[in-house]
Amino acid sequence: MARMGSIKAPFVVFGYGSLIFKPPPHVQSQTSGFLKGYVRRFAQESHDHRGTPENPGRVVTLIHKEDWDRFSRSDAFPDEDIVWGIAYTIDPEYEAEVRDYLDYREKDGYTMETLHVYTIENGIEKIAIQDAFCYVGRPDNPSFIGSEPLEDLAQRIWASVGPSGQNKEYLYRLAESVHQLAPASYDSHLFALEERLRELDKTTSDDH
């Protein structure tokens, strides 16, 4: 009798930044959900997408809450520890290709980790996906900038531009996506920055 081989677990990647509004290729299915014990912050310099080496922009990274507490003296929302995003299940036939694509796309200081993705069903919290892969910008990576005052951060994002476009466009698209993920999805840090950037846009428009 032929021996049955073990069934390989699907490759699932959790997106919490640009992967939300620009998904990876070869997605079979996707699930909105959240991570526990992490924060999403614009604490990562972007030298290759939303800024330049001379004038780096700011993009989000996922940080362990206990690590972030050591860098969060300027954080206006120190108690947040939930991150909403999308878990993508990749077509197994293209797993190697997608892994290579993501490794290159997230090369500027990100490390792959595995973690559980949660969801809420009928008011009850439950694990939706176990051991999803996620790219995390750990505090010891060279592009990690740490916590900055919200006003300074908003000004930097509003003014920065890189090969992938305006830094503020990245923030606007991310905020819009998180607003739409689920009835319970939120991110006080992200939404506060979104509001401040819209004020900067309005002020500039009024000046002209």
Place of tokens 């939303």: 50
Q: Write down the catalytic residue from 106, 121, 151, 169.
A: 106
Place of tokens 């604490």: 43
Residue 121 a catalytic site member:
no
Whole-number Å distance between alpha carbons of 181 and 185? 6
And the tokens for 94?
């293209």
Whole-number Å distance between alpha carbons of 107 and 68? 21
**57 closest CA partner among 140, 142, 143:** 143
The per-residue DSSP string of 44-64 comes to EEESSSSS-SSS-EEEEEEEE
Q: What residues act catalytically? A: 106
